[in-house]
Amino acid sequence: MRFYKHIMQSSCWGVRCAALCLSFLFITGVQLRPLGEQEKRMQLEAVKRGILDRLGLHRPPVIREKLNQDEVRNMYLLYQEKLTELRGNMSKEESPQRIVHLLTPKLERNTMSKRKCEKQGNNNHIYHLVFSRTHTFHQELSVMRAELKLCKDILAALRSSWTDSTAQAMVNIYKVVKSSETNGEEEHKLLDSKPIDKETLTLNVESAVQQWVSSSEKCLRLALVIPLDIPFASDGSKQTEGDDALILEVETQEKVHSSSRKARALPADEECKKSEKKCCRKSLSVSFKEIGWSDWIIAPESYTMHFCVGSCPHNYKAASMHTQIKSRMHHISNGATPAPCCVPASYEPMVLMHYNTEGKLTLSPFEDLIVRKCHCA
């Protein structure tokens, strides 16, 4: 009982209770030894009680009349769809987070030579858009999408100012690069070209932004060629027509390294070794037939439940910076501050197809039952 009270008083207990019916498992499964029959029965009783509590049942329902095979078969299809949906959601959560950056440019007057300017058309005006790097743009980002957006006011002005009925008004965007020629002139590489016949207009500049993000260049320089004279502040510090007249919208995500992919793909590496005493994942097989529930739980027939056991020495599998500080405080305070606990880091979803108290076949998702990985928190 002293050990049980010590756990109840620990600050880690709240985290442990988040995992379904793991309280008994932590008490009875601390020692890494072959399970005795009595210990396994205690663990299975904890599992049974936890599942009944989650389903809002005091005892297993009494099934008086089962559904016919066609009804069961249709429910199986729904069961597979729900399980696929939950696993898809889990994959999305594990994917690197995507962030959308909104950048506004500084506008500079055209520096092209008159000859190059004439090649763009007599009615065209050329502006340099200078985007500055922010602290969120680092070299470990992958650019998923990068679009330069023109606001509706500019597009309306473009359409109203275009008087040439024989040609279609176009908006072009170029990447400005240094020339290898000795004359020092800049080169302009076309990135995208769109007509101004729509209410919204976006120009694809993904290739240029990707190169910029992965480089050490402080600024990205683009050249916008449009048949409209855009007024702007004399110092060129701001756009006109409002701060959102021209917006560079960039969607990025962190690059996924092969080691991270391997860690997610091989959760079995978390399994406890025979001599392992540090935080790891221990397994418990649950067969609904063996525990006498196969009459009301149709699928799955069995599953492997994992739980987290073991010690958390300093900086071992630390879940966060907070965990590292907590571990250091534990040592400094000679145990007055609780040490980090070995707890679940992620879960595998499971769906129960079962009869309810009304004799109807139903689906109950469990998203926090099967532990995939453990860490110290």
Residue 56, pLDDT score: 92
pLDDT > 70: percent of the chain? 71
Q: How far apart are CA 299 and CA 208, in angstroms?
A: 52
Give the residue-averaged pLDDT of 37-41.
82
Give the residue-averaged pLDDT of 142-163.
77
Residue 31, pLDDT score: 39
Q: Are 203 and 222 in contact (CB under 8 A)?
A: no
Mean pLDDT of all residues belonging to the chain: 75
Beta bridge partners of 287: 302
Residue 269, pLDDT score: 53
Least confident of 47-51, 130-134, 230-234: 230-234
User: What residue segments make up the domains of the chain, in order of their start?
Assistant: 98-254
Give the residue-averaged pLDDT of 200-209.
87
Tokens of 140: 């470990």
Q: Are 223 and 173 in contact (CB under 8 A)?
A: yes
Residue 277 banded pLDDT, cuts 50, 70, 90 = confident
347-365 per-position pLDDT tens digit: 889 999 999 988 889 999 9
Tokens of 315: 């900086």
- State the number of CA atoms in the 13 A half-sphere of 85 facing the CB: 9
Cα→Cα distances 24→28, 40, 48, 90, 375, Å: 6, 11, 12, 27, 19
Q: How far apart are CA 268 and CA 373, in angstroms?
A: 9
Residue 231, pLDDT score: 56
Cα→Cα distances 31→13, 37, 104, 228, 274, Å: 18, 15, 59, 77, 10
Q: How far apart are CA 25 and CA 35, in angstroms?
A: 12
The amino acid occupying position 89 is N
pLDDT > 90: percent of the chain? 16
Give the residue-averaged pLDDT of 304-329.
88
Q: How far apart are CA 44 and CA 271, in angstroms?
A: 20
Give the residue-averaged pLDDT of 140-165.
76
198 vs 42, more confident: 42
Least confident of 167-181, 204-218, 312-326: 167-181
pLDDT of 307 over the 90 cut:
no
- Cβ-based burial of 252 (10 A; exposed 0-12, middle 13-18, buried ≥19): buried
pLDDT of 181 over the 60 cut:
no
Residue 363, pLDDT score: 94
Residue 59 banded pLDDT, cuts 50, 70, 90 = very high
197 vs 188, more confident: 188
331 vs 239, more confident: 331
Residue 250 banded pLDDT, cuts 50, 70, 90 = confident
